[in-house]
C-alpha cells in the first residue's frame, strides 16, 4: 500500500516541516529544531557561494541576530542552542561541528531542487 501527500511550501517552511517529520529520530528540542531549520535555510539561501564563505555567513554575528529576531529570543539563547546542537548527535554525528553544519548526519536535508521526496518504508512483523 502506498500513500502520498503533496504539499507546496517555501524553503524555510520546508526545513521546518522536514525536521518535524524526522524529529522522532533526532530527538531535538523545539528550540533546537527551529534553530537548525533556520541554519539549513541559510545554507540554502547562500548556496551559490563557496562552502567556507557560506559557513562563515551562516554562523556570523549578524546571522545569529537574525535568528534571534526570527524566534523572538535573545542572542544568548541562540548561542546556547548552538552549543546544544554541537553536543547533540544522531548516529554518532553532531549536528554542528564548530561553525559548520554537519551534513554527515543521516537524513539531514539539503535542498538542491524545487522538489524533494521523503519515503518511509515500514516492514510489519506479525
| Residue 26, SS3 per DSSP | helix
Contact status, residue 63 vs residue 8, Cβ threshold 8 Å: no
Longest dimension (CA), the chain: 54
Question: Tens digits of per-residue pLDDT, 76-108?
Answer: 999 999 999 999 999 999 999 989 998 989 888
Q: How would residue 68 be classed by pLDDT, with cut points 50, 70 and 90?
A: very high
The length of the chain, given as a count of residues: 126
Domain locations in the chain? 23-101
**pLDDT digits over 14-60, tens only?**
999 999 999 998 999 999 999 999 999 999 999 999 999 999 999 99
| 97 secondary structure, DSSP code | E
Amino acid at each position: 500500500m502506498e500513500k502520498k501527500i503533496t504539499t507546496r511550501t517555501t524553503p524555510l517552511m520546508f526545513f521546518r516541516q522536514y525536521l518535524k517529520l524526522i524529529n522522532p529520530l533526532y530527538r531535538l528540542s523545539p528550540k533546537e529544531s527551529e534553530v537548525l531549520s533556520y541554519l539549513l535555510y541559510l545554507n540554502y539561501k547562500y548556496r551559490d557561494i563557496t562552502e567556507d564563505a557560506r559557513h562563515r555567513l551562516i554562523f556570523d554575528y549578524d546571522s545569529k541576530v537574525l535568528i534571534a529576531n526570527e524566534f523572538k529570543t535573545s542572542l544568548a539563547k541562540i548561542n546556547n542552542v548552538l552549543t546544544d546542537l554541537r553536543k547533540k548527535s544522531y548516529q554518532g554525528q553532531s549536528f554542528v561541528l564548530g561553525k559548520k553544519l554537519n551534513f554527515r548526519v543521516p537524513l539531514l536535508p539539503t535542498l538542491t531542487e524545487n522538489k524533494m521526496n521523503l519515503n518511509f518504508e515500514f516492514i510489519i512483523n506479525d
